[in-house]
Amino acid sequence: NDLSLVRNFSIIAHIDHGKSTLADRMMELTHTVEDRKMKEQLLDSMDLERERGITIKAHPVTMKYKAKDGNIYTFNLIDTPGHVDFSYEVSRSLQACEGAILVVDAAQGVEAQTVSNTYLANDNGLDIIPVLNKIEMPNADVDEVSQQIEDILAIEATDALQISAKKGIGIEAVLEAVVERFKPPEPAKDQFTRALVFDSKYDAFRGVVVYMRLFSGALKAGDKVRVMSTGEDYEIKEVGIFTPEMNKCKILEEGSVGYVIANIKDASEIQIGDTLTLAKLPAPDALPGFKEIHPMVFSGIYPVETSDYEKLGASMDKLRLNDASFSYQAESSIALGFGFRCGFLGLLHMEIIMERLRREFNLDIISSYPNVEYRVVLKNGDVQEVDNPMYLPDPTMIEHIEEPMINATIICPTDYLGDMMALIMDRRGSIVKTDSIDGHRVMLTCHMPLNEVLIDFYDKLKTLSRGYASMDYEYANYQPSELVRMDVMIHGEVVDAFSSIVHRSKAEFRGRQMCKSLLDVIPRQAFAVALQAAVNGKIIARETIRAYRKDVTAKCYGGDISRKRKLLERQKEGKKKLKAIGKVNIPQEAFIAVLKTN
Ligand code: GTP
């Protein structure tokens, strides 16, 4: 095992700049996959990833490359996700590498994730090879973009490689640069085995498959391996490499990237960032970088059909086997019945989990208003973490409430700078600095509450800039803020699923919005129904549903009998799903409609 012939690296890029396409071309050129097996974006294996064109999980692949110097090199490429929700995966993957290929779209230039991913690579001490992609496009501007790479990222770019991943131009030069410019893995300093876990996946037949980079020592089937965070030992059943499918081998040696299958039953038994060592000769210290990941966004997920509750729970159990960053526990709501309180890394993560529950488990589900986790400091000095507005302590006991803040980087054309600044201010953000990127674009650095970007910030950003702005963020700190719980009441009864924690200055607007949308979806009752929003018992918004007689067939003028029957049937069906909020019966669809539009 000659370490000087090994290169471990990853490709980092802003979304859509061509990371996966470049990985595909590299696999083709190294004959890692036969041409007939080659389909676009080979590494994006999850259906959802392929459809959305985004990488969600980190995928590794081992390639053999015969370089111009005559040697055959082993390349371990770890593909990384591009979205901020998964940046913990990016940083884990980067820790497993010595170098990173930085792909920048030569027609678009440096974008927000180009910046954040480069920072992550720098933090991990990686060598970076800048690559300009899409150079065959008529609007590609190689000089301009090289300049941006130097100015914004402080990376020497005079020798940036110029490629077209799509057309297969310049790919060999990239492979040669990997050999020449990236360092081989460093030889171990002691005799202990240490492998960094950078991902895991659950396989129904084989249990947990651990993705790892071996920094020192060796691993083979039959070895007893120890998970250092828990001290648990497991017997290795199989080791292998990714080509990109799992390919069993006899032994994994120092410097390699591959997988380990031991009798680990549940993804939660092993954490990303964990160190594996041998039970018979355990390493005295773990590899750096073990950090627990915390969910940042919380929401209730409920089955639309109450009878699906058990199935939903079982499906979540299965999903969690594959994704240990997703957490959940049972909760119940007056409006939505029995469901689960779930924690996610971010909104995209939440969307993906919801989508997977719908598709892979065929469930009809609805989520309550997403929120962040607040830190509530009580007058008696206690601190409570609150991820569900219903559990906010009595306001008279609260000293103050703190909310999570983010540092965001936004890149947009200078023409939209005014609009962007207004949007950031509207979301209670403050602008830390603005940097000019070139004559026509700026980079804004701002500090803002995570809660304010949860809902439609990204959409607004895109609309205001006609799609030209890009954004990335990282979690910053907790900060005291004027936060209150806003409740929504129907005929005097609080509807739990609609309660939210909001900034005092926004409560009234949001309260009005909620009452208005409820007005549209709740059918009239035999009596007038008040819709109210309240903060600490004080009403801040109100609408009234006027009384109505119940005869649903009235508007049919006695004409079409079959239509009349249909309506009656529908009413009967509707009754089954009515939820009583105090005296008022409301079809569950009404709640769902409001949660969907708000
Ligand atoms: P994420 O996985 O979401 O981070 O995206 P990615 O960076 O992997 O980008 P991907 O490889 O999916 O490419 C995005 C789009 O750009 C696709 O439609 C590609 O076909 C296209 N593309 C990639 N390389 C080139 C190129 O050299 N020229 C042109 N014109 N298009 C390219």
For ligand 1, is residue 530 a contact (CB within 6 Å)? no
For ligand 1, is residue 339 a contact (CB within 6 Å)? no
Conformation bin of residue 41: beta by default, left when phi > 0, alpha when psi is -120 to 50: left
* Residue with CA closest to ligand 1 atom 25: 166
Say how far apart CA 275 and CA 288 lie, in whole Å.
9
CA of 386 to the centre of ligand 1 (A): 41
For ligand 1, is residue 166 a contact (CB within 6 Å)? yes
Q: How confident is the model at residue 336, as a pLDDT?
A: 80
For ligand 1, is residue 16 a contact (CB within 6 Å)? yes
What is the atom index within ligand 1 of the atom nearest the CA of 55?
Answer: 2
CA of 258 to the centre of ligand 1 (A): 26
Q: How confident is the model at residue 36, as a pLDDT?
A: 47
What is the atom index within ligand 1 of the atom nearest the CA of 54?
Answer: 3
Residue range 84-124, pLDDT digits in tens: 666 666 777 788 899 999 999 999 999 988 988 898 899 88
* Residue with CA closest to ligand 1 atom 23: 18
Q: How confident is the model at residue 399, as a pLDDT?
A: 95
CA of 164 to the centre of ligand 1 (A): 10
Q: What is the bridge-based pairing of β-strands 246-249 and 232-242?
A: antiparallel
Q: What is the bridge-based pairing of β-strands 99-105 and 127-133?
A: parallel
Say how far apart CA 305 and CA 445 lie, in whole Å.
45
Q: How confident is the model at residue 45, as a pLDDT?
A: 55
Q: How confident is the model at residue 485, as a pLDDT?
A: 92
For ligand 1, is residue 165 a contact (CB within 6 Å)? yes
H or E, element range at 234: strand 232-242
Query: What b/e sequence results for 84-107 when a residue is b if at least 16 CB atoms lie within 10 Å of its CB, and e otherwise?
Result: bbbbbbbbbbbbbbbbbbbbbbbb
268 marked ligand binding residue: no
CA of 372 to the centre of ligand 1 (A): 33
24 marked ligand binding residue: no
ipTM: 0.97
Q: pLDDT in tens for each of the 598 residues of the chain? A: 789 999 999 999 888 899 888 998 999 999 887 654 555 555 555 565 555 555 555 578 999 999 999 999 999 998 776 666 666 667 777 888 999 999 999 999 999 889 888 988 998 899 999 999 999 999 999 999 999 999 889 899 988 999 999 999 999 999 999 999 999 999 988 999 999 988 888 887 888 899 999 999 999 999 999 999 899 999 999 999 998 888 999 999 999 999 999 988 877 788 778 899 999 999 998 888 656 667 888 989 999 888 899 999 999 988 887 677 788 999 988 778 899 999 988 877 888 888 889 888 899 888 887 889 999 999 999 999 998 888 899 989 999 999 999 999 999 999 999 999 999 999 999 999 999 887 788 999 999 999 898 877 888 888 898 888 888 888 889 999 999 999 999 888 888 888 889 999 999 998 998 898 888 888 888 888 899 999 988 999 999 988 876 555 555 555 555 666 665 565 555 444 556 677 777 776 677 667 665 5
Q: What is the pTM of this model?
A: 0.77
For ligand 1, is residue 579 a contact (CB within 6 Å)? no
Q: At what angle do helices 112-123 and 142-153 cross, to 10 degrees?
A: 50
- Bridge partners for 577 per DSSP: none
For ligand 1, is residue 409 a contact (CB within 6 Å)? no
For ligand 1, is residue 348 a contact (CB within 6 Å)? no
544 marked ligand binding residue: no
* Residue with CA closest to ligand 1 atom 10: 18
Residue 325's closest CA among 310, 312, 342? 342
For ligand 1, is residue 46 a contact (CB within 6 Å)? no
Q: How confident is the model at residue 472, as a pLDDT?
A: 83
* Residue with CA closest to ligand 1 atom 5: 16
CA of 38 to the centre of ligand 1 (A): 16
**Alpha-carbon distance values, 77 to 8, 20, 178, 589 (Å):** 6, 11, 10, 47
For ligand 1, is residue 170 a contact (CB within 6 Å)? no
For ligand 1, is residue 18 a contact (CB within 6 Å)? yes
Say how far apart CA 464 and CA 415 lie, in whole Å.
11
Say how far apart CA 159 and CA 142 lie, in whole Å.
11
Gyration radius from the chain CA atoms: 27
- The amino acid present at 195, given as its one-letter code, is A
16 marked ligand binding residue: yes
Do 76 and 7 contact (CB within 8 A), yes or no? yes
575 marked ligand binding residue: no
Do 21 and 27 contact (CB within 8 A), yes or no? no
Say how far apart CA 113 and CA 90 lie, in whole Å.
11
- Bridge partners for 195 per DSSP: 214, 276
32 marked ligand binding residue: no
